[in-house]
Structure 1
Amino acid sequence: MTDTAVNRPAAGKPGLRIGTAPDSWGVWFPDDPKQVPWQRFLDEVVDAGYSWIELGPYGYLPTDPHQLEDELGSRGLKLSAGTVFTGFHKGEDQWQRAWDQALAVAGLAAKLGAEHLVVIPDLWRSDATSEVLESRTLTDEQWAKLAAGHDRLGKALLEEFGVKQQFHSHADSHIGTTREVLRFLDETDPRYTNLCLDTGHFAYYGGDSVKLIEQRPERIGYLHLKQVDPSLLFDVLKNDVPFATAVAQGIMIEPPHGVPELAPVIEETAKIDTDIFAIIEQDMYGCELDRPLPIARRTREHIFGCTHLARIR
């Protein structure tokens, strides 16, 4: 394949839509005194040069659709996705919990034009307390429950809201390594369940994002762009450091100082579909309030400086 072919975006569009998220401002919870107030977050997103954002934890931004539409519209911002958390491997009783979240989050996001719901699996180790909650691996029976639950959720989201489910592998969760992600894809239906490929979380367990995109292009529905600090990663893994502690230590590092390189990820994904969102995230929970804005600005400048297959709108 020639360099021209590699760099030619699908459908002749100018590149992936680049956005950001409350996570890049250290927001993990709907309400926490350590976090930046939501009004300041929205103002700083604009200052940093973005026009697309995610909803973040439900309840952080206003949940009244008219208020949220006014707040975003007055700043020229648009919504790409919401987020929910699921634990389908635990059994049938998890369905109602997932659907109750979906009714609230997808219901709000869809009213503002978002077409995606990022779905994060429950962690085997708590990100709030670092307590080990269950086994790190799933039995075959749990795998079957996990896959069936996500396909059911994805089908319901499409039918009820016209929203696509994008599954997010995660550090300290049961789906993190390359083999686990591939098994998840093999056991789920591409009509209802695809990936939010988070480049940082995938690299956390040694995953190669570009290779995964090349192998399963039809399953890439959404991107989270972040980098892992490779000089810290092996200490984290060797010493079994909980993910939340690793975040406090700076495991998710400002680009371009970590891995993977983001330009090849963007360029490989652009060959699939340039309507795919690439949302910048940098896990920084507990950070000082003045820290996120300069990083967000520099990260946007880095991405637009390293590839021409990126766009703001």
Structure 2
Amino acid sequence: MKTPFNKEKVYIGITPTSWWNDDFLDIDIGIPFEQCVSEMALAGYEGCSVGHKYPKDPEVLKYALDIRGLRVSEPWTSTYFTIKDMYDKTVEDFNKSLEFIKSMGGTDIVVAELGGSSHQQPIALKANKAVFDDEQWQALADGLNHIGKIATDNGMNLCYHHHMGTGVMTRPEVDRLMEMTNPAFVHLLFDTGHIRFAGGDPLEMAMDYAHRIKHVHLKNIRQPIMNQSDEQEMSFKESIEAGIFTVPGDEEGCINFEPIFETLAENNFEGWLVVEAEQNPANAYPLKYAKMGREYIRKVTGI
């Protein structure tokens, strides 16, 4: 890379979604928590997001990660600002996640608006995605600005995850959310695979929003499977089971990550670069792909 990352301020993590799926619990071959995090460490990662098999007690979890040289990159928190009577519950859940990540020594909290989302439903993913009206957009922006200020006041980064099936899925929707939210409080989680699956250009997003990106999910796309998903109007789960996602460095993937890394580095990105390939572990051996992604990132970026 012409402009390398600051090795002291960029961290490489991975999600447990290669070992099991947290949206679809039947995508699971029985790999336990201990094996998952041990293989993460073996593959050379510094941290990980939190999955449903992780210990709920922060002290137990921290010990299990510490002895493997890992730390938590982020917790996921779903928001529901766009549907009725869920504002207080959303803020309450957010505050719980915030306390958890603080106790784990983390800095980033990831959120996505799931009001009306199709991604966990057994229905056509794109045809049935959430579509917000003006009132819902305002409710979402106001809610995010509110919890974003809470995060900032606590020394944390609120990172919004654009996501398939949700009302913030496509590039124009990401643009609208960024325009409506306060950049001091609401940062962008940039997911390469989700924006490509939604019809956008990952490199263009990196270039346009480098100033808002505080967290990155590195997800690759198998183009033939994406085409199949679109043509057959598959659900999100069906797309995952068909193998739509893979890791950076997989020759079957269609995303060129090198210029994306260069763009982020040139704009002084600091934070987590997290490999996330939602694959069925019955078909894609988790450790193999974890190592593939880590080795590719090291080869390209030097970290």
Do the structures match in fold with TM over 0.5?
Answer: yes
Of 54, 75, 99 in structure 2, the residue corresponding to residue 107 of structure 1 is 99
Deviations 1:91-143 (A, max 9, x none): 4x222222232233221111111100111221521515448897631111111
Equivalences for 1:86-235 in 2 at 5 Å? 86-91=79-84, 93-122=85-114, 124-127=117-120, 129-130=122-123, 136-159=130-153, 161-235=154-228
Kept in 2: contact 1:81–1:109 (CA 8 A)? yes
Partners of 2:72 and 2:134 in 1: CA distance:
37
1:276 aligns with 2:268: no
Partners of 1:183 and 1:233 in 2: CA distance:
25
* Structure 1 residues not aligned, in runs of 5+: 1-5
One-letter code aligned to 1:146:
L
Equivalences for 1:9-158 in 2 at 5 Å? 9=4, 13=7, 16-28=10-22, 34-57=29-52, 60-91=53-84, 93-122=85-114, 124-127=117-120, 129-130=122-123, 136-158=130-152
Name the Cα RMSD after superposition.
2.5
CA offset at residue 85 of structure 1? 0.6
Call closer, same or farther: CA 1:262–1:50 in 2, change over 3 Å. Answer: same
Partners of 1:15 and 1:65 in 2: CA distance:
24
Call closer, same or farther: CA 1:87–1:35 in 2, change over 3 Å. Answer: farther
One-letter code aligned to 1:296:
A
Deviations 1:163-183 (A, max 9, x none): 211111111111111111111
Partners of 1:155 and 1:198 in 2: CA distance:
23
Call closer, same or farther: CA 1:248–1:30 in 2, change over 3 Å. Answer: closer
One-letter code aligned to 1:45:
M
Q: Which residue of 2 aligns with 1:240?
A: 233
One-letter code aligned to 1:111:
S
One-letter code aligned to 2:142:
A
Of 254, 260, 267 in structure 2, the residue corresponding to residue 259 of structure 1 is 254
Q: 3-state DSSP class of the match of 2:178?
A: helix
Deviations 1:202-236 (A, max 9, x none): 10012112211222221111100011111121221
Partners of 1:299 and 1:199 in 2: CA distance:
14
Deviations 1:178-203 (A, max 9, x none): 11111111111111111110100010
Kept in 2: contact 1:86–1:98 (CA 8 A)? yes
CA offset at residue 65 of structure 1? 1.7
Q: Which residue of 2 aligns with 1:7?
A: 2
Kept in 1: contact 2:119–2:164 (CA 8 A)? no
Partners of 2:241 and 2:192 in 1: CA distance:
19
TM-score by length of structure 1 reads 0.87
Partners of 1:175 and 1:30 in 2: CA distance:
21
Kept in 1: contact 2:148–2:158 (CA 8 A)? yes
Q: Which residue of 2 aligns with 1:3?
A: none
One-letter code aligned to 2:138:
A
Of 223, 227, 249 in structure 1, the residue corresponding to residue 242 of structure 2 is 249
Call closer, same or farther: CA 1:63–1:30 in 2, change over 3 Å. Answer: farther
Call closer, same or farther: CA 1:209–1:15 in 2, change over 3 Å. Answer: farther
Q: 3-state DSSP class of the match of 2:211?
A: helix
TM-score by length of structure 2 reads 0.89
One-letter code aligned to 1:175:
V
